[in-house]
Amino acid sequence: MTGPQTRRRVEGMVLFAAYAACVPFANWLIGHVGTMCIPHGPCVLPVAPGLMAPSGVVAASLALILRDLVQRRLGLAWSAVAVGVGAALSAIFAPPALILASTLAFAVSETLDLAVYTPLQRRGLVIAALASSLAGLVADSLVFLTLAFGNLDLLAGQVVGKFWVVLATLPALAAVQARDRRLGLSTDPS
C-alpha cells in the first residue's frame, strides 16, 4: 500500500472503532443519565430552550456522521459491516427495556443514512453527510421514540438536538473533504 492508502486504512479503522463506541455510549447514556427529562437536567437542549431529548442524542448523531466517514475511508462493504456491528452492539448494550427500540432505530437509521449517502458522495462529503444524516436522524427519532415510549413527545427535541450536532461537525467534514482533494484521494475507496 502507498502512503495515502495506508493513511486511509488507518483513519478508517480509527473511525470504525469510534463509530462502534458511539452505540454503547448512547445506550449507556440512556441507561445511566436518563430517558426522562427534568427541568434543567441532562436532556434539556441548551441550543433550543423548551425542547428536550433523551440523553443519547449526541452519541446517536455522531454515529450517523462517523458511518459516512467509515464509508469514505474504507468503502461501502466496511460501512455495511459497521451498521451490522452497531446494531449488534445496540442489542447488547441497550437497557433491557429499550433493546428493541434501540436496535431497530439504529439499524433503520443507519441503513437509511447509507442509502442516501452512497449516491450523493461524489457531490462532496459535506453535502452527502448532511443529507444522509438528516434522513437518518429523523428515522432514528421516529422509530426509537415510537418503540421506546409509545409516543413522539420528544420528537422535536430529538430532531433539533441531532441536527445541531450534525451542523457542528460540518466544518470538520469540510476540512476532511479539502484535505482529501489536496491528497488526491477519491470519495470511495471501493
- C-alpha pair distances (Å), 74 with each of 12, 110, 114, 117, 149: 6, 16, 13, 14, 36
Q: CATH topology for 3-183?
A: Arp2/3 complex 21 kDa subunit ARPC3 (1.10.1760)
The CB density around residue 153, as the number of other CB atoms within 10 Å, is: 11
The amino acid at residue 168 is: A
What's this model's pTM, rounded to 2 decimal places?
0.88
Which of 172 and 148 is assigned the larger pLDDT? 172
Q: What is the pLDDT of residues 8-37, one digit of tens each?
A: 999 999 999 999 999 888 888 877 776 555
Give percent of the chain above pLDDT 70.
89
Q: Residues 41-78: pLDDT tens digits?
A: 545 555 566 677 777 888 888 999 999 999 999 999 99
Q: Residue 136: what pLDDT?
A: 96
Pairwise pLDDT comparison (74 vs 5), residue with the higher score: 74
19 in Cβ contact with 25 (< 8 Å): no
